[in-house]
Amino acid sequence: MRPFEIQRIDHVVLRVSDLPRALRFYCDVLGCTVARERPSLGMVHLRAGASLIDLVSIDGALGRPGGPAAGAQGRNVDHLCLRVDPFNEATLRAHLQMHDVAVDGPVESNFGAEGDGPSLYVRDPDGNGVELKGPASECGR
């Protein structure tokens, strides 16, 4: 028996090659806000709803030990999933297009923390996958 229960994902840390570019994507396109900046570490903590996304510059104190940035042939992370509400495909696509962010394929129903529901995928400027997930359908819960 464990003396604890997992409640939710607290944060995800992404190594990025261009911190200002990544900040523009996560804040301007996805709506995260800066919670704390730690320049001595090359790190910015972003508020993403109840969770955090930490961006670590690959040339900063925390990023350097991780080696070179992931590229087209290798990734540090497959994807992170952000629960969004409301989930309106046309509105989401228009917003992403306005920011020159390509959507990877059609909206599909995928399983997540709340059950099966709609999602679509994009890539951040470093090629990390980001799933935008809508609410679970009644039959998917």
**Per-residue pLDDT for the chain (141 aa), expressed as one digit of tens each?**
877 687 788 899 999 999 999 999 999 999 999 999 999 999 999 999 999 999 999 999 988 888 888 776 666 677 899 999 999 999 999 999 999 999 999 999 998 888 899 999 999 998 888 999 999 985 444
Whether the link from the prior residue into 68 is cis, omega within 30° of 0, is no
Phi, psi values for residue 21, rounded to 5°: -65, -45
**Residues contacting residue 18 through CB under 8 Å, at least 6 positions apart:** 125, 126
Contact 109, 118 (CB under 8 A): yes
Q: What is this structure's pTM?
A: 0.82
Q: How far apart are CA 96 and CA 119, in angstroms?
A: 14
